Amino acid sequence: MKKVTLTLIKHKTIKQIAFKFQYDTEIKEYIKKLPHINWSKTHGVFYIPYTKENINLSAKHLKNSPWNIQNNLPKNDLFLINLTQEQLLDIQKFKRWLTQKRLSDNTVNTYTNVVTYFIKYCHSKNTTLYTNHMIESFNYDFIVKENKSISYQNQCINGIKKFLQYKNINLDTLQIVRPKKEKKLPTVLSLDEVKLILNNINNLKHKALIALIYSAGLRIGEAINLKITDIDSKRMLICVENSKGKKDRYTLLSPLFLVLVRQYYSVYKPKIFLFEGADGNKYSPTSAQKILSNAVRKTSISKKVTLHTLRHSFATHLLESGTDLRYIQELLGHGSPKTTMIYTHVSNKQLSQIKNPFDSL
């Protein structure tokens, strides 16, 4: 019997219901009758947005079909729980409260998302009481059991504690122990690999953005927040305002990058931000990562490369060229020299000078 499998995928970072089946014209035409159906070349499937309404609609649509329908969608997914208008309003107020605390956009969004899931979790347990037991259960079921990262677990704990502070709830006996972060060494590209990536970006705007992140050692948030006036070509410096830790700093303006960014400016003529989207607003971090991923895919590089890899590479290459760690710390905007010290572990300058005892055999 022909089989159609319903499964969960992420397409363009958004959860979708995917319909998987061996190619069959009859099934294809039947699936296409669903409203809002789309085709993904990336996944090779038809898909619709992952909502409770669409799950019910799909089940009803396929119920009387002659095929074997296999439902692999998650059961009791918190994502599908609908909150009350009062709860949604409370979450929006919490988000505004976080924003007034002048936390970064990323932190505000992360805390808001985790608190939304926490409230949905409480809703699924038929309670509106935010007790120690409920928080510890959420920590286990949503984070530990799902094997989410230690970094994300710490962010969740921070977000819930902020929410309790916002609600004036005092839980002094909260027993959630913060796990120690893994001490993973950063991925670093060689100079040749950075050059190879840039050579595989043809779009002038895209190349300038990726070159900026590497040549100035910027975080992606710093790069897309950069304004035209932050480029100081007379002093050959870039002013990074209100970066992580609410600090301003200066970083290097490469003469080679200055040539590239002037070419870019003469073509695109941005008005406020150095890199603007089609609507004139700030460029999207997701779009920037997609540019980098597409460029890496065209190369033979097998490392997992993210935008932050370019920042790690910038710091490591400075260290290997003899730059003092204190200056690297300032250029990166690290609050502590301990953070910058990690690059001593990935630099091959000192390691390459050590004679391997095997060579003496």
Say if residue 170 is exposed, middle or buried (CB neighbours under 10 Å; 0-12, 13-18, 19+): exposed
Q: What 8-state DSSP symbol labels residue 282?
A: B
**Token pair 């900026």 in the structure block, residue:** 212
Query: What region does 36 belong to: left with phi over 0, alpha with psi -120 to 50, or beta?
Result: left
Cβ–Cβ < 8 Å for 264, 256? no
Cβ–Cβ < 8 Å for 312, 340? no
252: closest CA among 221, 211, 224? 211
Q: Are strands 38-40 and 45-49 parallel, antiparallel or unpaired?
A: antiparallel
CA distance 282 to 348: 37
User: Biggest alpha carbon distance in the chain?
Assistant: 75
Could you give the angle at the alpha carbon of 10 between the alpha carbons of 6 and 15, nearest 5°?
A: 75
54: closest CA among 80, 92, 30, 77? 80
Cβ within 8 Å of residue 268, ≥6 positions away: 204, 205, 276
CA distance 11 to 36: 14
Cβ within 8 Å of residue 84, ≥6 positions away: none
Bridge partner residues of 7 (DSSP): 18
List the catalytic residues. 219, 244, 308, 311, 334, 343
Cβ–Cβ < 8 Å for 311, 243? no
CA distance 312 to 218: 9
264 token code pair: 């870019």
Q: For residue 113, how many other CB atoms are within 10 A of its CB?
A: 15
